[in-house]
Chains A and B, each alone.
Chain A
Amino acid sequence: MFESFQLSQLPDEDEALRGTVRDLCSEVTRSFPPEVRARSWSGFDAAFSRRLGAAGLLGLTLPKKYGGQERGPFARFVILEELLACGAPVAAHWIADRQSAPQILHFGTEAQREAHIPAICRGEKYYCIGMSEPGSGSDLASVRTRAERTADGWLLNGQKIWTTNAHHDDYMIALVRTSGSAADRQAGLSQFLVDLHAPGVTVRPIVDLAGDAHFAEVFFENVALGEDALVGKEGEGWAQCTAELAFERSGPERIYTSIVLLDAWIAHLRGAGRLDEGQERQVGALMARLAVLREMSIAVTTRLAAGEQPVVEASIVKDFGTSFEQDIPALIADDLGSRPDEPVAPELLRTLHYVTQVAPSFSLRGGTREILRGIIARGLGLR
């Protein structure tokens, strides 16, 4: 089953990009303590995103016509891998580069492409995804936020929540109801580009358990949207959303979220000068999983490069990858705690506890573990 999952290889010309990214990253992150680097794709730094844009390291899969690099998913994989390996603050452009721009390219009008994609490629405009609502989490088709037809566009009312970085962003691509009711499920949903600075939009950051405010709630009160705010076709929002999922779920960010902590722990083991057989096995088991997960992610990237939408395969990578990411802090905590007489640097403790605290979110965001396993089961022919 899933015969498309086959070992693949990153092309040499894309591997060649590593040096450039690494130099830029190390220049920026050199002075960061590990607990800052561990935030990586939650770390919002507009200046860094603009530097990446200027260096031609954003919009790798997008056409040159719109300011992209026309390099494809493999080049993008290499760049993301280097950014995450060093814990660079990539949140500002992350979602726009990964999802919003490809979405606008595939489903948007020419005017929308020209208005949004070049600014995304320059690292200047930031986007978020408006899916979850207070009453709609995993059951996304039950969204109640609604856009009603007006003489010259749409009127938007409702609320989104848990929207990553909405309080820093310029636009949201929101999934909302344009006809029927929640009982109609996937039918009657549409996607809109919503200017988050427009009258009637209120964004409130939500502080998380680690003391950060990386997500937000967003209120829409009679927000007037032009005709040009609709992305794609009215009523096709669900299908358009589904098409994004393979981009969202298979990338290196589903494998590497705990990688800065892992490397900080290995540095600690070296410094402490101890490595018994048990630790060797723990480190090695993680290395083996890391190596194979990386190849699994590259295998899915190969399907994306071939123009496919490997949604089930991407779900497999995300579920397996986030389990790995969650195992890392649990295992390291036990190792450090099992040596109460050995000093542990406070910065390693801060990194460990930060990752431990946010680790449950790894298998919630971008589709919960249970939803992904349901998708995989369908792919196996169950139901």
Chain B
Amino acid sequence: MDNELLEPFDRMLADAVPPEAVRRVDAGGDASAIWAAVAQSGFLDALVSEEAGGFGLSLAEIEPLLRALGSRTVPVPVAETMVARALLATAGVERPDGPIVLATAARTESGWATAAVPLAGVAAHALVELGEGAAVLVDLDGDVVEATGVHGSRGGILRLPAEPTARARISVEEGALRAAAATLRAAAIAGAGDRLLDMTAAYANERVQFGKPIGRQQAIQQQLAVMAEHAIAARIAAQYGCARGLPVPQRAAAIAKTVASQAATPLATIAHAVHGAIGISEEYDLQLFTRRLHEWRLADGSEGYWAGLLGAARVKSNAETSIGFVRGAA
């Protein structure tokens, strides 16, 4: 992946999604202008094969774009739509124009329900895995999406009847949608983490207390070093998750999301600790990132969920050593 893709993509995001636009959507505003700009750029079909009219890129090739989405706190489901469109194209299904979220539902007494899905409130459709390798493309309306009501979040729980009305049904590998979504989330965490690290280091160099920039205090330096370690770990984890393309192998997703989710809390915590009170205020941009980090940590399985799968696989595996296990993990 080179800058030929990333630069125009990031420039498009910088123009279409300034922090004030993010704030408007977070507050419940309309996201259609942002979506129109992204759709017009053509990037939504980055993962769609060239025969089907896309760019024919791999997940590894667009990984820097996935991080850019996190670093710009883009309040529409661009990465999710890219993956959904690739899956729909592969299945020979017509691709709708609107934003699509990815979800995995479990059975309830009356039908199906999901955990909180980030950006469900701004999406037009959802590609929902219903188990046993079946996924349905459904339209999202007030009957399907129950907003979580978390301040500043457009996330929602999706509820579907036992036999949902679907635009299309496709078959996927079991667990494929959660693995893909978790990997996209890991990349978003990495992108936001990188940006937070830049912001926090810059602030530590500017903010003067006791007659010198606080960045000269060893206590602050040590915290920023830890933050840098988590930011790098999240980046490498995201790249690891994307390296083998779609479908994302379960263990690759598990490694990526476990480490990225583990990083989310210290990244947010240290960023706030260094910024002090200003970082808690609405008008300062820090909150756009840290609120999302916490939401993304939970989404599509937290570190505990994925670590549980990975640990069970390790104990059951024939690998003689743990190094052998992680070498063959994906």
Binding site for B on A (CB under 8 A): 1-2, 5-7, 81, 84-86, 256, 259, 262-263, 266, 269-270, 275, 277, 279-296, 299, 316, 319-320, 370, 372-374, 376-377, 379-383
Query: Which residues in window 192-240 of B have CB below 8 A to A?
Result: 194, 197-198, 201, 204-205, 215-216, 218, 220-222, 224-226, 228-229, 231-233, 235-237, 239-240
Query: Is B312 within 8 A of A291, CB to CB?
Result: no
Which residue of A has the minimal Cβ distance to B197?
A1
Which residue of A has the minimal Cβ distance to B234?
A292
Query: Is A290 within 8 A of B225, CB to CB?
Result: no
Question: Which of B85-93, B133-141, B173-181, B318-326 lies on the face that meets chain A?
Answer: B318-326
- Chain A hits for B236, CB < 8 A: 5, 7, 292, 295-296, 299
CB B112 to nearest CB in A, in angstroms, measures: 24
> Can you sample 18 A-B contacts with CB below 8 Å?
A280-B311, A281-B308, A282-B311, A284-B306, A284-B311, A284-B313, A285-B310, A286-B322, A287-B326, A288-B307, A289-B258, A289-B262, A291-B240, A292-B237, A370-B218, A373-B226, A376-B228, A382-B221
Given contacts A7-B236, A7-B243, A290-B323, A316 and B303 within 8 Å (CB-CB): no
Distance, CA A373 to CA B227, complexed state (A): 10
Distance, CA A282 to CA B255, complexed state (A): 13
Distance, CA A295 to CA B205, complexed state (A): 31
Query: Is A285 within 8 A of B307, CB to CB?
Result: yes
Query: Is A320 within 8 A of B233, CB to CB?
Result: yes
CB A369 to nearest CB in B, in angstroms, measures: 9
CB B257 to nearest CB in A, in angstroms, measures: 8
- Chain B hits for A281, CB < 8 A: 304, 307-308, 311
Given contacts A266-B314, A383-B215, A5 and B322 within 8 Å (CB-CB): no
* Interface: B309 (CB within 8 A): yes
Interface string of B130-163 (1 = CB under 8 A from A): 0000000000000000000000000000000000
Given contacts A7-B236, A262-B322, A284 and B308 within 8 Å (CB-CB): yes
Query: Is B197 within 8 A of A285, CB to CB?
Result: no
Given contacts A1-B228, A296-B236, A287 and B322 within 8 Å (CB-CB): yes
List the count of A-B residue pairs having beta carbons below 8 Å apart: 171
Query: Is B321 within 8 A of A259, CB to CB?
Result: yes
Distance, CA A86 to CA B225, complexed state (A): 32
Query: Is A280 within 8 A of B307, CB to CB?
Result: yes
- Chain A hits for B115, CB < 8 A: none
Query: Is A381 within 8 A of B205, CB to CB?
Result: yes
- Chain A hits for B228, CB < 8 A: 1-2, 316, 376, 379-380
User: What are the nearest 7 A-B pairs in CB distance?
Assistant: A284-B311, A284-B307, A284-B310, A283-B311, A377-B221, A373-B225, A7-B239
Distance, CA A256 to CA B323, complexed state (A): 9
Q: Which of A275, A280, A380 is the one whose CB lies under 8 Å from B225?
A: A380
Query: Is A269 within 8 A of B215, CB to CB?
Result: no
* Interface: B268 (CB within 8 A): no
Given contacts A263-B322, A374-B221, A280 and B303 within 8 Å (CB-CB): no
Distance, CA A283 to CA B262, complexed state (A): 14
Distance, CA A372 to CA B204, complexed state (A): 19
Which residue of A has the minimal Cβ distance to B258?
A288
Given contacts A2-B232, A292-B233, A283 and B314 within 8 Å (CB-CB): yes
* Interface: B259 (CB within 8 A): yes
Known: A2-B232, A292-B237, A382-B216. 20 other contacts (CB 8 A): A1-B231, A7-B236, A7-B239, A7-B243, A277-B308, A280-B308, A283-B314, A284-B258, A284-B310, A284-B312, A285-B262, A285-B307, A286-B322, A287-B329, A288-B303, A290-B322, A295-B239, A316-B229, A380-B224, A383-B221
Distance, CA A184 to CA B225, complexed state (A): 29
Q: Which of B204, B254, B307, B313 is the one whose CB lies under 8 Å from A382?
A: B204
- Using C-beta atoms within 8 Å of the partner chain, give the interface range for chain B: 35 or more
Distance, CA A382 to CA B221, complexed state (A): 7
Distance, CA A85 to CA B320, complexed state (A): 10
Name which of A270, A280, A379 has the most chain B CB atoms within 10 A of its CB.
Answer: A280
Query: Is A319 within 8 A of B235, CB to CB?
Result: no
- Chain B hits for A283, CB < 8 A: 307, 310-311, 314-315
CB A321 to nearest CB in B, in angstroms, measures: 10
- Chain B hits for A6, CB < 8 A: 239
- Chain A hits for B259, CB < 8 A: 288-289, 291-292
Which residue of A has the minimal Cβ distance to B243?
A7
Distance, CA A293 to CA B313, complexed state (A): 19
Distance, CA A269 to CA B313, complexed state (A): 13
Which residue of A has the minimal Cβ distance to B303?
A285
Query: Is A376 within 8 A of B225, CB to CB?
Result: yes
Distance, CA A357 to CA B322, complexed state (A): 22
Query: Is A316 within 8 A of B232, CB to CB?
Result: yes
Query: Is A383 within 8 A of B201, CB to CB?
Result: no
- Chain A hits for B240, CB < 8 A: 7, 291-292, 295
Distance, CA A93 to CA B22, complexed state (A): 57
- Chain B hits for A294, CB < 8 A: 323, 326-327
Query: Which residues in window 233-255 of B have CB below 8 A to A?
Result: 233, 235-237, 239-240, 243, 254-255
Q: Which of A1, A85, A383 is the one whose CB lies under 8 Å from B324?
A: A85
CB A333 to nearest CB in B, in angstroms, measures: 18
Distance, CA A215 to CA B3, complexed state (A): 49
- Chain A hits for B262, CB < 8 A: 285, 288-289
Name which of A5, A283, A316 has the most chain B CB atoms within 10 A of its CB.
Answer: A283
Q: Which of A288, A296, A377 is the one whose CB lies under 8 Å from B310?
A: A288
Name which of A7, A285, A292, A316 has the most chain B CB atoms within 10 A of its CB.
Answer: A292
- Chain B hits for A379, CB < 8 A: 228
- Chain B hits for A372, CB < 8 A: 225
Which residue of B has the minimal Cβ distance to A278?
B308
Distance, CA A327 to CA B169, complexed state (A): 46
Distance, CA A240 to CA B240, complexed state (A): 35
CB A335 to nearest CB in B, in angstroms, measures: 12
Distance, CA A320 to CA B197, complexed state (A): 17
- Chain A hits for B254, CB < 8 A: 284, 288
- Chain B hits for A270, CB < 8 A: 315
Query: Is B306 within 8 A of A382, CB to CB?
Result: no
CB A64 to nearest CB in B, in angstroms, measures: 29
CB A383 to nearest CB in B, in angstroms, measures: 6
CB B28 to nearest CB in A, in angstroms, measures: 34
Distance, CA A86 to CA B322, complexed state (A): 10
- Chain B hits for A2, CB < 8 A: 228, 232
